Amino acid sequence: MTETHTRTHAVLGTTRLILHALLWACAVILLALTAYRVHYTKRLNHDDILTSSHHFYDPVIVELIVTSCLVIIGSLWTISILAKRRVKGSAWGFPSFAGEAIYVWVVWVMLLVGASITTHRWLHLKWCRGHHKECRILEAIKGFSWICYGLASFILMYAIAEWLLMDYERRTAPPPTYPETRTAQPEPVPAATETTYTEVRASNEPPVSTTAPAATETTYTEVRAREEPPVGTAAV
């Protein structure tokens, strides 16, 4: 990863962290406004300037309450992960990234539906918002629902941009290199001396004496001379 990519990841992560914090704050305000609206309509005993119904609630307001709760929980989870990533300098893993992308996509759709229906149902309230609190509450609900939708759109856009950057880095990264291993050189073995069969046999036999006494040869003439009587001896 180059230094430019590292800085880009840092900028994208910081921007998403700020956007999630803003989304969380706006969701808290939207939750308070929608909760007040449900509390007001459920306790309504008389006609007001906008309706003649009593003890009711608007389904789209309940949908915005559920969406606000999801945003509050999901944004806290994502903020904690982004903060840990910023402190440790670790990469954004696939499970965490996929979880954030799914959460933001679901919230984005729910906010779009809630803001669209709320705007369509209470489109023109300028004539009553100056004198009636109910109109001002509904106007604030419309405004904060669209603000949350816009923040979710920016978060989704930055998340997709970082995912594309990570995919580009993965495709263009060089193959991993491993450190060279030093092979141990074998110690030189002394040359083995070859012992032949002749040498083994010679070492097992007793030494032969080289100074053997000279053998005396007795000839036939010497033997006959000893047996015959000496010549010139007178016969008795």
* Axis-axis angle for helices 59-88, 3-42 (nearest 10): 150
| Predicted local confidence at residue 25, as pLDDT | 97
Closest Cα partner for 111 from 23, 186, 211?
A: 23
Token representation of residue 47: 């006609």
d(CA 8, CA 169): 12
If you average pLDDT over residues 151-178, what whole number do you get? 79
**In one letter, which amino acid is 24?**
W
Other CB atoms within a 10 A radius of the CB of residue 126 amount to 9
User: Residue 116: helix, strand or coil by DSSP?
Assistant: helix
Sequence ranges of the domains in the chain = 3-172
d(CA 12, CA 121): 37
**In one letter, which amino acid is 133?**
K
Residues in the chain: 236
d(CA 33, CA 108): 19
Kindly report, residue by residue over 5-23, the tens digit of the pLDDT: 677 777 777 888 899 999 9
If you average pLDDT over residues 210-232, what whole number do you get? 57
User: Residue 234: helix, strand or coil by DSSP?
Assistant: coil
pTM for the model? 0.67
Kindly report, residue by residue over 103-160, the tens digit of the pLDDT: 999 999 999 999 999 999 988 888 787 778 888 999 999 999 999 999 999 999 988 8
Which of 87-96, 117-126, 141-150, 162-171 has the weakest average pLDDT? Answer: 87-96
User: Residue 219: helix, strand or coil by DSSP?
Assistant: coil
Specify whether the CB–CB gap between 111 and 68 falls below 8 A.
no
Kindly report, residue by residue over 33-81, the tens digit of the pLDDT: 999 999 988 887 777 767 766 667 889 999 999 999 999 999 999 898 8
pLDDT band at 235 (very low <50, low <70, confident <90, very high): very low
Q: How far apart are the first and last CA of the chain?
A: 143
Give residue 51's Cα distance to chain centre. Answer: 56
